[in-house]
Structure 1
């Protein structure tokens, strides 16, 4: 492949060919059809963790996609316009159901663990006409071809993905076929998914864009193979105990995971051949140096950081294999532009940017996109070569006495402690300063909270950033895909001050407290937080 980006010097060479001249498929359905026609007998999916092990060739995967699509049509789905809600755990059926929905309509995968009222809200917003569950069966439908003459175009909507965690009302991000096909193609520029020997290990859930693109459409476009860990993914303890033997057996070349997955990987057993592995991709959360060092020492391949968000399809920056830069989360991908505003907020433009969150009347930029630039809400900077550096989230800033504090440097100082395996810093309401930083950490061995407090104070980027408290906890709250979920920690920090208080959150900040503690009123004065007595 002549489009590999292994150093920053490769970017101008790749971009010298206009994107519109690259003969990309018109849709994700055409993407799959092209590969199935070129290599029908090549393994597309090895399916683990869902009963007897199975392998689907590209011909069989396309057959299953046709069955799913024709099932939707038989139920009255309007070709090109209807939405299919997918409430599925990872399986072969989930791949077929999602790609089949995109072949004849719009796929809307949701997290099966979401509260029922949130699922109902999403399906009502997207207008889902059909809902597919683990019990659904497509096998009675013909799979030799689609039972319509309809074929999706690049500008047609392909999917609706919800954002956010397991609490709060998620937003819905529409994706077009052009966005998804571009992402499938550009991920191949990393080399991990290009070439006939590329094998991607899939352990993240298919309601998340990383799983759909990194371990789905990208390998399928470039003729690679996907090894699916099944319904539980990286949480399947039995499969994870034999993780490295799976890498050896299927000659896995790459996998993508969050830092907590890497920290829980078993040691590489003696005599296991994992020489096929090219790299481990990581993102979504701060990476402790101990986790990186442990993986690279054990697996003897680099851990490559990346950066992306659902609103920009999936990935916006990835670390080139031959030119990593310390502290960076990667180099911008071809045809994308990333910049920092004077306020330090990162913005993205290019073929991966979504049309705006879904509203009652369709996609609406609603201030998220300004003059073609997506406002990410992430803080950072970009160097002259296009490498991206993150410093935090705008909404995570701690405002202490009118002074903005970024929690990320505080977290990094704690992660530098040899006993700390995870760290999250949030702002706790304070009667005098408005907010003060408090830290939550997980540890690999017993470490006293006072020791960690002194460690953080000695290494704080400024005196105001020294945490007021450090709490050792068994685990840090995360979303279903392992991203840090700080609102729960904000609520916990308030409850530690005022036991028995009920905390109501909005956009990760406390907006109302319910309780009768006499200290509440003074704490809330500077926070514009509502207080309601239980009496």
Structure 2
């Protein structure tokens, strides 16, 4: 493999043209994630690949694996899966918080079949549907020692399973407790699998570039999350685009704390480091959700010489409150932020606190992981970055898909080697996955669902979700203009704008915000602040509500539907205020939309119905209310 071809200079936005002058097919990328691992183990067998912390307080007592050791562990687990009947088109579900054994287990699942990581925080009904849709008959899951709350859900999920392989906590010292029996299902500790499994090679059919590598659910808390299908070629290509960053060399240590059911954890902090033989330090099972991590974080950076990390804005907000004191954090030079808008207040505070520039990025599961990146030495305020090499982006009209000129806002579409194969909708008669774009793929281009514009330098500026547009009397309002106005306030750390139902205008804009600790500002002051800064009067929010935290999906992305539900509830409650003091209004989310439930109390049901029927919304009487359902 020609290393000069593999690693072109990639330090700034001007390098993109020269990189793409060489076709991607000429760069000699490994064909699969397994080939990528074999390459790393062959080149750097004795170099440390994984350093996994049992928890924040035990950061000096990690479990570690070399690249050669990682490959041996992957072979062992993949051969076990093969012995259990897993073949190339079969999914292996993985449901556990991060731990030392989950990492090789994930790679082994991609080697023996298809990895299907699942967020165990989902409801048992959703988990069961994801297992059914993936067709997984083997589940690798956290045991009662590692995550008792997840293990408690396992008995409800065993209907279609042949085997359950259990993971123990990282660096567990005590003997494992006996596992309960599950009727008709083989149950065993993954780490205690038969020692006669071959660790030198894989007994089955190795994957090729075009084979499916993983099924990732897209997050969300309404309906069942979709399963996005990734190919080996797509994951390897995206990992290379990330690893090509010239700021990070083979001696750069990467910090990982996002859960492995998230594409960022797999592609950015597991696959990309394999390209250059970089060590990855993995946080404990709670990741960034472990409060104790923040008190130890700068010591961890100093001890392991952390060079790069990736997190959401709220993580960086908390880190600005953590004293660096005497820790030497000079090794940290690449801090990536994404998933939600980065408030100026958080950027300014973090960079002043650490002297490290926050670098924004953009990506989505359906484009494998990352599609745009920024550069510390080439700031573009307000932009999430330049498209990554060999990926294509365009801004189109949402209806006609006609490409829009530079500077105009429209629907963002992505093309290129990282676009997913489609969603898994089930299995065919032969048991093979059925893949369908479900309207997200148009002539090979991915409909991201995001509104965006491209500036004259080709940098991408996001403008909210297409479905989040607020339509006031036929006038389209981009929620991002309201959110940007509020985020410009020195005390605002997060903002979300949605439409509130209105009888005259259809919708009126309202906003929700979070504030920095000890902020001295009230909701009316924030409303006036935003009204004076939005580009047009119709976009001025009618109200601003302060929250302790903005709602997010199971994978940490902003969840506007929850805000829309609250705004709807308040609007309906206000409209019914004159119909009885005991009228109660609730709003819930079903199938991706909001519906209202009303308890009329002593109020006049006919009069209440007349009010509700004036709104363009779904509503029903509460279950305790006798009578027919309205809609």
- The question of a shared fold, defined as TM-score above 0.5 by the shorter chain, is answered with yes
1:293 paired with 2:348, answer yes
- RMSD between aligned residues: 1.9
| CA contact 1:254–1:278 (8 Å) conserved in 2 | yes
The answer for unaligned runs of 5 or more in structure 2 is: 144-165, 167-188, 399-409, 429-433, 574-582, 627-631
Q: How does 1:168-179 map to 2 (within 5 A)?
A: 168-179=223-234
Conserved? CA contact 2:422–2:437, under 8 Å: yes
Q: Is 1:119–2:124 an aligned residue pair?
A: no
On the 8 A contact 1:312/1:353 being kept in 2, the answer is yes
Q: Report the counterpart of residue 351 of structure 1 in structure 2.
A: 417
**Preserved CA contact (<8 Å) 2:472 2:506:** yes
Q: CA deviation at 1:530?
A: 4.0
From the superposition, tell whether residues 60 and 524 of structure 1 become closer, same or farther in structure 2 (CA, over 3 Å). Answer: farther
Pairwise CA distance, 1:268: 4.3
* Structure 2 residue aligned with 1:59: 68
For 2:74, what is the secondary structure of its paired residue?
Answer: helix
**What CA distance in whole angstroms lies between the structure 2 residues aligned with 1:507 and 1:130?**
29
2:95 is the counterpart of 1:93: no
Structure 1 match to 2:504: 432
**Contact 1:5–1:320, Cα closer than 8 Å, also in 2:** no
What corresponds to 1:402 in structure 2? 474
* CA distance in structure 1 between the partners assigned to 2:328 and 2:609 by the alignment: 60
Task: Note the alpha carbon deviations across 1:195-225, whole angstroms, 9 max, x for none.
Answer: 2112111111110001111111001222111
TM-score, scaled relative to structure 2: 0.81
Q: Number of aligned pairs?
A: 533
**Per-residue CA shift, 1:234-266, capped at 9, x if unaligned?**
111222211111111111111011101110114
Counterparts in 2 of 1:379-418, with a 5 A limit?
A: 379-418=451-490
**Does 2:526 correspond to 1:460?**
no
8 A Cα contact 1:107 1:158, kept in partner: yes
1:284, CA displacement in angstroms?
1.0
Q: Distance in 2 between matches of 1:503 and 1:524?
A: 16
SS state at 1:522 partner: helix
Q: What is the TM-score of this pair, normalised by structure 1?
A: 0.95
Q: Please give the alpha-carbon distance, in whole angstroms, between the structure 1 residues aligned to 2:563 and 2:256.
A: 30
Please give the alpha-carbon distance, in whole angstroms, between the structure 1 residues aligned to 2:230 and 2:261. Answer: 13
**Partners in 2 of 1:458 and 1:9 — Cα distance?**
38
Q: In the alignment, is the contact (CA less than 8 A) between 1:201 and 1:215 conserved in 2?
A: yes
Alpha-carbon shift at residue 520 of structure 1 (Å) = 6.3
Relative to structure 2, which stretch is displaced further, 490-499 or 10-19? Answer: 490-499
Residue 241 (structure 1) aligned with residue 295 (structure 2): yes
Single out whichever of 427-436 and 97-106 deviates more from structure 2.
Answer: 427-436
Contact 2:215 2:229 in 1 (8 A): yes
1:58-99 Cα distance to aligned partner (Å, 9 max, x none): 11111221222122122221x212110111101111111110
Task: List gaps (5 residues or longer) in structure 1.
Answer: none
Please give the residue correspondences for 1:233-312 in structure 2 after superposition, counting only pairs within 5 Å: 233-265=287-319, 266-312=321-367
CA distance in 2, matches of 1:471, 1:452: 9
In structure 2, the partner of 1:158 is 213
Cα displacement string for residues 345-393 of structure 1 (whole angstroms, at most 9, x for unaligned residues): 0000000001221113511122211111111110011234431111111
Distance in 2 of aligned mates of 1:217 and 1:32: 8
Distance in 1 between the 2:47 and 2:610 partners? 67
Asked which structure has the greater CA Rg, the reply is: 2
Counterpart Cα distance in 1 of 2:221 and 2:101: 24
Aligned partners of 1:359, 1:260: CA distance in 2, in Å? 34
* Separation (CA, whole Å) in 1 of partners of 2:482 and 2:591: 22
Point out the more displaced range, 111-120 or 365-374.
365-374
- Equivalence for 2:447: 375
Asked if residue 3 in structure 1 is aligned to residue 87 in structure 2, the reply is no
> 2-side partners of 1:385 and 1:422: how far apart?
28
Structure 2: distance between partners of 1:3 and 1:321: 18
Whether 1:527 aligns to 2:599 is: no
Q: Deviations over 1:143-191 (max 9, x none)?
A: 5234414110000000000012244320110000000010111101223
Secondary structure at the residue paired with 1:151? coil
